[in-house]
């Protein structure tokens, strides 16, 4: 099967690749064309997922299709952008019709759930990897960035943390547990749901935001650095799911929530005066700390003592000694 036949059979014909709002021209030409309304800016983000690094070498292609787009689209939610479209660059070691059909089905399911259109990409031969570029729109001047946190703001997250990292022993077949716990954790790993509704609700309210991919403490460090402030995370306020607490002992669960990554929940800073309205609107806002003067991120206990762990999150190019 040739490259163009592969694209035509498994991707161009998918429901998510058909014309839709914001897409003037999709798959089939040298470039896609997007339509952005007057007064809006285009939000763009690219993520690469590599076999053996971001997912197991052998895994369900349907689930991989869901995960590939879900983790990428989460960046749009973090900016407060409305999702529009995405491209896919797919590198395959060989061509399997069964694998491609399942992968395309999972990708399409996530795309339709996120209201996103597949508008192009590339395919090539090599070690399995996927690069997804996502596009969204946000009113000019309204994008949520990492650089606006203010002293006195609340530090918040958009839901329980640690489930994605907690699922890893299950994904790698290193541990097992009862079905209800397994299903809850694996769903968070394989099918992360971008928090678009929360991101839109935070426009004009949150002072800084990002999505948690490498671990709460590590990613909060990006807000602290970009904003020139210090973030204090209160250990006892970090939310964790019942499934995570049932699967791990307390220390393991907390470590997964603080440093495990793969959460794809939003972390954001918020003036205290904005909290009540968001809660009244039913938004999933969990206050876990505050913004103070200084630099960096610290985890504090109930007495205000610094108990920050040495390992704060995942790094691809960590230096070794």
* 287 and 191 in a common domain: yes
Stronger pLDDT, 107 or 318, i.e. the higher one: 107
pLDDT given at position 177: 85
Report whether pLDDT(1) > 70.
no
* 114 and 190 in a common domain: no
In a domain, 124, yes or no: yes
Report whether pLDDT(318) > 70.
no
Q: By C-alpha distance, which of 57, 136, 49 is closest to 89?
A: 49
The distance in angstroms from the start CA to the end CA of the chain is 47
In a domain, 221, yes or no: yes
* 194 and 284 in a common domain: yes
pLDDT given at position 230: 98
In a domain, 232, yes or no: yes
* 121 and 52 in a common domain: yes
pLDDT given at position 13: 84
* 158 and 291 in a common domain: yes
* Structural domain of 228: 154-300
* 213 and 89 in a common domain: no
Decide which of 104, 139, 174 is a domain's last residue.
Answer: 139
* 293 and 176 in a common domain: yes
Q: Is 272 exposed, middle or buried (0-12, 13-18, 19+ CB in 10 A)?
A: exposed
* 99 and 218 in a common domain: no
CATH number at residue 286: 3.90.650.10
pLDDT digits (tens, 9 = 90+) for 14-41: 899 988 889 999 988 899 999 999 999 9
Mean pLDDT of the chain: 93
pLDDT given at position 313: 61
Least confident of 4-8, 46-50, 104-108, 261-265: 4-8
pLDDT digits (tens, 9 = 90+) for 191-207: 999 999 999 999 999 99
In a domain, 208, yes or no: yes
In a domain, 229, yes or no: yes
* 293 and 168 in a common domain: yes
Count of structural domains, the chain: 2
* 220 and 193 in a common domain: yes
* 122 and 159 in a common domain: no
* 160 and 119 in a common domain: no
pLDDT band at 83 (very low <50, low <70, confident <90, very high): very high
Output the pTM of the full model: 0.93
Least confident of 1-15, 42-56, 142-156, 285-299: 1-15
């Amino acid at each position: 099967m040739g490259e163009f036949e592969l694209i035509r059979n498994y991707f161009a014909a998918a429901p998510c690749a058909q014309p839709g709002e914001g897409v003037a021209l999709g798959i089939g030409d040298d470039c896609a064309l997007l339509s952005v309304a007057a007064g809006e800016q285009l939000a763009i983000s690219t993520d690469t997922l590599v076999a053996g690094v971001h997912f197991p070498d052998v895994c369900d292609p349907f689930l991989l299709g869901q995960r590939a787009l879900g983790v990428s689209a989460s960046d749009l939610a973090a900016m407060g952008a409305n999702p529009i479209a995405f491209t896919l660059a797919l590198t395959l070691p060989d061509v399997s019709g069964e694998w491609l059909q399942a992968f395309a089905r999972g990708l399409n399911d996530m795309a339709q759930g996120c209201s996103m259109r597949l508008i192009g990409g590339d395919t090539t031969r090599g070690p399995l990897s996927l690069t997804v570029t996502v596009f969204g729109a946000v009113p000019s001047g309204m994008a949520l960035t990492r650089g606006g946190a203010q002293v006195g703001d609340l530090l918040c997250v958009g839901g329980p943390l640690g489930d994605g990292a907690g699922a890893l022993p299950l994904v790698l077949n290193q541990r097992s547990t009862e079905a209800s716990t397994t299903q809850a954790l694996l769903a968070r790993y394989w099918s992360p749901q971008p928090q678009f509704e929360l991101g839109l609700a935070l426009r004009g309210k949150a002072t800084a935001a990002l999505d948690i991919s490498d671990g709460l403490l590590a990613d909060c460090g990006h807000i602290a650095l970009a904003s020139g402030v210090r973030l204090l995370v209160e250990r006892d306020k970090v939310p964790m799911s019942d499934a995570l607490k049932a699967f791990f002992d307390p220390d393991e669960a907390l470590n997964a929530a603080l440093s495990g990554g793969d959460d794809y929940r939003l972390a954001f800073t918020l003036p205290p005066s904005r909290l009540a309205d968001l809660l009244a609107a039913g938004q999933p806002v969990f206050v876990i700390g505050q913004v103070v003067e200084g630099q960096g991120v610290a985890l504090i206990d109930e007495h205000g003592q610094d108990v920050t762990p040495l390992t704060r999150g995942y790094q691809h190019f960590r230096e070794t000694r």
